[in-house]
């Protein structure tokens, strides 16, 4: 019995020592991006990483691409021959299964279950629709946000991994000129039963639902607003009651004022940062591994290690979107000219 106890104690101490060692080895800041050679030149705004090895991207000219070896090699193609369609949203479930969503016309949702060899149409919207982004709350339940049609937001839901889609009936009322952005397909966020939608244009608001879209609360954001190029472009959650939003004005990429929002769900109020990101940012993602927040845009990449209160630039590379892998261990980014990268730390 004593030997077993000592063995268990020894194992526990070794594990504790290992955990402490891992905690002490957390880097002070990201080192930059590992940029991969991809076989496409399309603008890639759709991005979904499964692990450090498996990632999908999509974009202009109907393009999709996928890696299963960490970016060393890529398979690619055109979704269902639609070479004039911009697929700005994608969600991957594994190396074989993914859903893509178009921005503009036609407003369509396609799904593959054979690694991109074939894509099947799962949903098509009315001619006036413009689909902006996709998010999944779990393995099966996901949502797609679209700009308002007939004075109502468009919000589609799936409960079977994107095979079928239905429209939510209870939606908030936007004002005239208010819309969403498809810059990185990430201004809609689903966390458990909660939904968060960030808007822009004539007004920039944060819409919050705690019951899967049955009821909504609305709060005006501190972001730039009033013009069609201004507002919330992307949001993420730190898992501790804070929502982090980036955006600004894409016609003024160096403008710092009004490009960031930090909302406390616990206190139901906006928190003013010490220093915001360094310009317009179209994508943001929380990296729980190191408790970093990464924001990307046309003028570079910033990171925060204090929950978004202050920001520091670490790369001048242009990206449109940034995504945490589903496994949580890696961070990926995509951008113009077929650019895909993975964070180095």
Delimit the domains of the chain by residue range. Answer: 30-344
- Residues 6+ away with beta carbon under 8 Å from 144: 89, 101, 109, 131, 133, 134, 155, 156, 165, 188
Q: Average pLDDT for residues 271-283, to the nearest whole number?
A: 96
What does the block give as tokens for 136?
């999944």
Residue 18 has pLDDT above 80, yes or no: no
**Span 310-344, pLDDT tens digits:** 999 999 999 999 999 999 999 999 999 999 999 99
Q: Average pLDDT for residues 178-190, to the nearest whole number?
A: 97
What is the CATH T-level fold of the domain 30-344, as seen in this structure?
Answer: Methylamine Dehydrogenase; Chain H (2.130.10)
Strands 292-297 and 283-287: antiparallel
Predicted confidence band at 17 (pLDDT cuts at 50, 70, 90)? very low
Beta strands in 36-141 (DSSP E): 44-49, 55-59, 63-67, 75-78, 86-92, 98-103, 108-112, 120-124, 131-136
Looking at residue 21, its pLDDT comes to 41
Length of the chain in terms of residues written: 345
Tell me the three state secondary structure of residue 234.
Answer: strand
Residue 16 has pLDDT above 70, yes or no: no
* Pick from 47, 50, 65: nearest CA to 112: 65
Looking at residue 23, its pLDDT comes to 57
**Chain centroid to CA 92: how far?**
12
């Amino acid at each position: 019995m004593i030997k077993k106890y000592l063995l268990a104690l020894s194992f526990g101490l070794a594990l504790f020592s290992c955990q402490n060692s891992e905690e002490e080895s957390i880097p002070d800041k990201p080192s930059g991006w590992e940029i991969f050679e991809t076989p496409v030149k399309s603008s890639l705004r759709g991005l979904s990483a499964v692990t450090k090895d498996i990632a999908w991207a999509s974009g202009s000219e109907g393009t999709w691409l996928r890696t299963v070896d960490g970016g060393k090699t890529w398979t690619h193609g055109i979704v269902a021959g639609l070479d004039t369609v911009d697929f700005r949203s994608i969600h991957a479930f594994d190396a074989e299964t993914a859903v893509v969503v178009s921005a503009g016309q036609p407003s369509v949702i396609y799904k593959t279950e054979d690694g991109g060899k074939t894509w099947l149409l799962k949903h098509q919207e009315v001619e006036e629709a413009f689909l902006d982004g996709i998010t999944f709350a779990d393995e099966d339940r996901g949502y797609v946000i679209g700009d308002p049609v007939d004075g109502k937001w468009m919000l589609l839901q799936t409960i079977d991994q994107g095979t079928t889609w239905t429209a939510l009936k209870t939606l908030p009322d936007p004002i005239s000129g208010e819309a969403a952005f498809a810059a990185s397909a990430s201004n809609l966020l689903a966390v458990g039963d909660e939904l968060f939608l960030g808007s822009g244009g004539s007004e920039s608001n944060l819409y919050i639902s705690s019951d899967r879209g049955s009821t909504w609360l609305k709060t005006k954001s501190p972001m730039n607003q009033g013009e069609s190029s201004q507002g919330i472009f992307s949001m993420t959650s730190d898992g501790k009651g804070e929502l982090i939003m980036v955006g600004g004005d894409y016609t003024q990429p160096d403008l710092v004022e009004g490009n960031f929002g930090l909302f406390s769900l616990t206190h139901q109020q906006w928190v003013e940062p010490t220093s915001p990101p360094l310009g317009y940012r179209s994508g943001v993602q929380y990296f729980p591994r190191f408790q970093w927040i990464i924001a990307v845009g046309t003028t570079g990449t910033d990171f925060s290690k204090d929950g978004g209160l202050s920001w520091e630039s670490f790369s001048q590379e242009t990206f449109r979107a940034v995504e945490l892998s589903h496994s949580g261990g890696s961070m990926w980014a995509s951008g113009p000219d077929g650019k895909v990268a993975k964070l180095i730390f």
